[in-house]
Amino acid sequence: MIIAGEASGDLHAARLVEGVKQQQPDTRFFGIGGSAMRRAGVEILVESSELAVVGLIEVFAHRKVIFGALNRMREILRSDPPDLLVLTDYPEFNLRLARTAKECGVKVLYYISPQIWAWRQGRVKKIQQLVDKMAVVFPFEVDFYAHHGVPVTYVGHPLAHEVKPSADRDTLLQEFGMDPERPVVGLFPGSRRSEIKRLLPIIIYTAQLLQQQRPELQFVLPVASTLSPDLIRQNMPEHELDIHYIEHRPYDTMQACDAIVTVSGTVTLEIALIGTPMVVINRVAWLTYHIVRRMLKIDHLALCNIVARRRIVAELIQNDATPSAIARELERLLDDEDYRKEIKQGLEEVRQKLEDDSHITDIAAVTSDMLNQD
């Protein structure tokens, strides 16, 4: 059984499945995921797009769907236990499922750690009790888990050698039907429906402000595999922008941009690997924000800043995430050459850290080893 509750987890889990099938072709995978896992041969019982929400209030609003999926997976663990449960990120759901797996004697491999080093560090005790092995993607996570007595293996970040555009900027813009001579701003509203509803209007209002000041700008918006252009348009405020929607080509979209406004999450690492200057934004429900802020143990929200352990790109969070503030930062990214150079150098540092292959064990090998253990 393999579980991925979000678009990024779907991609990472699919690569794990492909790697294991190369080593053990008769291995059967089933569980929760999306299109990438389905293409890799996973029997999808619940679509991950139904579960991809962020924030305490938002999760509460979707509790029936989420707990319905959880109970379905629990019943399978009890009635027909698999040889291994592979959990990918998505901690609130996955740690509950891990408890049931333990009760049923099913081994648990957790791939891509919950960010407990960032907040709610007390959860490491639960992980120690419920997880047989952590497969982590950042080097600093090894020391954290080893310190708490959790078996851990560093498998490297799955994106490190896979985020590759298919062509250079000018070639891609010509292919997209855009003018390579005009600046391009990327509008990245996220891969979750809750992000689209919460943040897309802010991003669109930002783009409207920019276009009023700079009519030469062009805009691109990638549509995540978990979403549809129709869903994007349903949550789009009225506008007169000429937006180019790009489906299924996130890395080419990042490469085509001169600057990007993006939600927080794994996407900030992907953009860092491409090297495009960005501003990171986020807004959640008021209560969610004030609860989480008290629990945070880190200084940054964007993963690219966390990996660098310093502020490389601007983070505009909650009340700071206004269209006017975002527009000012994007203009600086477009116009201030020294600032652009500084940010691109910082993003290059992140890329080098993620691409360092020292002491990495392949995640497919870790999974196969656990499958073959008695």
**Chain Cα centroid distance, residue 115:** 12
pLDDT over 80 (residue 212):
yes
Residue with more model confidence, 202 or 61? 202
Q: Which residues pair with 279 in a beta bridge?
A: 261, 314
Collapse the DSSP code of 164 into the 3-class scheme (helix H, G, I; strand E, B; otherwise coil) and give the result: coil
E strands in 112-191: 133-136, 152-154, 184-188
Domain range annotation of the chain: 2-158, 169-355
Would you state the pLDDT for residue 350? 93
Residue of 80, 93, 102, 104 lying closest to 30 (CA atoms): 80
pLDDT over 90 (residue 221):
yes
Buried b (16+ CB within 10 A) or exposed e, 58-91: bbeeeeeebeebbeebbebbeeebbebbbbbbbb
CA distance 262 to 303: 12
Other C-beta atoms closer than 10 Å to the C-beta of 180 total: 15
pLDDT band at 370 (very low <50, low <70, confident <90, very high): very high
Percent of the chain clearing pLDDT 70 (strictly above): 91
Distance set, CA 214 to CA 176, 177, 188, 249, 261 (Å): 21, 20, 20, 26, 16
Residue 129 is encoded by which pair of tokens?
């009790």
pLDDT band at 248 (very low <50, low <70, confident <90, very high): confident
pLDDT over 60 (residue 10):
yes
Question: Any idea which fold 2-158 has?
Answer: Rossmann fold (3.40.50)
pLDDT band at 365 (very low <50, low <70, confident <90, very high): very high
Mean pLDDT of 51-80: 76
DSSP string for residues in 203-230: HHHHHHHHHHH-TT-EEEEEE-TTS-HH
Residue with more model confidence, 213 or 295? 213
pLDDT tens-place string over residues 323-356: 999 999 999 999 999 999 999 999 999 999 888 8
pLDDT over 60 (residue 18):
yes
Task: Note the CATH architecture for domain 169-355.
Answer: 3-Layer(aba) Sandwich (3.40)
**Chain Cα centroid distance, residue 133:** 22
Same fold for the pair 2-158 and 169-355: yes
Residue with more model confidence, 2 or 143? 2
Mean pLDDT of 19-35: 95
CA distance 123 to 202: 33
pLDDT tens-place string over residues 179-188: 999 999 999 9
Least confident of 53-57, 164-168, 200-204, 322-326: 53-57
Residue with more model confidence, 161 or 358? 161
DSSP string for residues in 292-333: HHHHB-SS--SHHHHHHTS--SEEEEGGG--HHHHHHHHHHH
Would you state the pLDDT for residue 297? 55
pLDDT, the chain, mean: 89
By residue count, the chain amounts to: 374
CA distance 128 to 274: 36
CA distance 340 to 334: 7
Mean pLDDT of 109-135: 85
pLDDT band at 25 (very low <50, low <70, confident <90, very high): very high
Sequence-distant (6+) residues with CB within 8 A of 236 are 200, 201, 204
Mean pLDDT of 53-82: 78
CA distance 31 to 283: 31
